[in-house]
Amino acid sequence: MSRPEIEIRDLHKSFGDNHVLRGIDLEIAQGEVVCVIGPSGSGKSTLLRCVNLLEEPTKGQVVVGGTELTDPDVDIDAVRRRIGMVFQQFNLFPHLTVTENLTLPQRRVLRRDRAQAAKVAAENLERVGLTEKASAYPSSLSGGQQQRVAIARALAMGPEVMLFDEPTSALDPELVGDVLAVMRMLAQDGMTMMVVTHEMTFAREVADRVIFMDGGVIVEDGSPEQVITNPQHERTRHFLSRLL
Ligand code: ADP
Ligand code: MG
C-alpha cells in the first residue's frame, strides 16, 4: 500500500485545562474522502485545524504528504500551501472582485505573475461554474456562490488535500446542493478530502469513510454503510437519531 496522504498519531489538543482532542489516530489514503460527524463540541473543527496547524497540537504527530507538520523545524507556510481549507463562513475579501480573490493569494504566497494567476483563477472559476461572476464583488453573490468562490480560491493554490469545516451549514437550504455538487466533483477527480458535515446524504453517497467523533475521540470509523446505516455504538446511534 502506498504511503497515506494524512497520518495522525495519538493527537492531543488542550485549551488550558480543556482537554479537547484525547488521542486521535487516523490514516487517510491519497484520494480518499473522509466525512467527520459528531455532536457540537466534540472536537471536529479542532481536529481539522490541527491538520493544517491553525492549531498547534499539544501532543502527537500529524504527517501530511510525508512531511511531519509537528516537526519544530518544518516550514509551516510551505506545508499549508499543500492543504486547502474551506470554512463555514466563506471569508472572501469583500473589497476584491471574485477574480482578485483568487489571484491575490497565488501572487502573494506562490509568487505567480499576474498572467499566470489570472489563468489559474479562470480555470478554477470554470470548475465551480462561476465564470460569469469573475468581475463581481462577493456581496453581490448568493451564499452558495460565495462558498464556491472560496473553494475555487483554495483550489487555485494547487492543494494536495482539501479540508472542509461545515461548508454548507451557513447556507439557505436551496443553496446547499450546488456547493455539495462541487465537492462531489472534486471527490470524483481524486482529491484527498476531510469533510466535517451534517449532510448525511452527502456522507453516504460520496464518502469512502465516515468517522464519528464524541468527546475528543474517534468512536466509530468505517464505511458509510457501517457507520451511518449500521452503527455499532450507542453514542453513534443516539447522534444519528437526533439528525433525522
Ligand atoms: P466541534 O467542531 O466538534 O463543534 P470544536 O473543535 O470547535 O468542536 O470545539 C471543541 C472544544 O474546544 C469546545 O469545548 C470549544 O470550546 C473548545 N475550543 C475550540 N477552539 C478553541 C479555542 N481557540 N480556544 C479555546 N477553546 C477552544
Ligand atoms: Mg466545528
Residue extents of the structural domains in the chain: 92-158
CA gap 126, 139 in Å, rounded: 20
Q: Which of the two residues, 70 and 136, has the higher pLDDT score?
A: 136
Whether the CB of 216 sits within 6 Å of ligand 1: no
Cβ distance 179 to 147 under 8 Å?
yes
Query: Which residue in 117, 112, 123 sits closest to 96, CA to CA?
Result: 117
Q: Which atom of ligand 1 is nearest to the CA of 49?
A: 6
Instruction: Point out the least confidently predicted range of 1-5, 30-34, 93-97, 98-102.
Output: 1-5
pLDDT (0 to 100) of residue 101: 98
Query: Which residue in 198, 192, 155 sits closest to 180, CA to CA?
Result: 198
The stretch 235-243 carries a mean pLDDT of 94
With a threshold of 0.95, tell me whether the complex ipTM lies above it: yes
Give the list of residues 6+ apart from residue 197 with CB closer than 8 angstroms, or none: 35, 36, 37, 164, 166, 167, 168, 203
pLDDT (0 to 100) of residue 121: 98
For the segment 107-128, what is each residue's pLDDT rounded down to a tens digit? 999 999 999 999 999 999 999 9
Q: Residue 219 gets which letter from DSSP?
A: E
Question: Could you give the 3-state DSSP secondary structure of residue 240?
Answer: helix
The stretch 171-194 carries a mean pLDDT of 97
Q: Which amino acid is at 231?
A: P
For the segment 158-178, what is each residue's pLDDT rounded down to a tens digit? 999 999 999 999 999 999 999
pLDDT band at 150 (very low <50, low <70, confident <90, very high): very high
Q: How many CB atoms lie within 10 A of CB 162?
A: 22
Ligand 1 center to 120 CA (angstroms)? 35
CA gap 223, 86 in Å, rounded: 24
| Residue written as grid cell 474522502 | 33
Q: What is the pTM of this model?
A: 0.96
Whether the CB of 45 sits within 6 Å of ligand 1: yes
Query: Which residue in 30, 32, 20 sits closest to 223, CA to CA?
Result: 32
Residue ID of nearest Cα to ligand 1 atom 20 = 46
The answer to whether residue 1 scores a pLDDT higher than 70 is no
Whether the CB of 241 sits within 6 Å of ligand 1: no
Q: Which atom of ligand 1 is nearest to the CA of 165?
A: 2
Q: How far is CA 131 from CA 136, 142, 149, 156, 177, in A?
A: 10, 15, 10, 14, 19
Taking the mean position of all CA atoms in its chain, how far away is CA 56? 17
Residue ID of nearest Cα to ligand 1 atom 6 = 43
pLDDT band at 79 (very low <50, low <70, confident <90, very high): confident
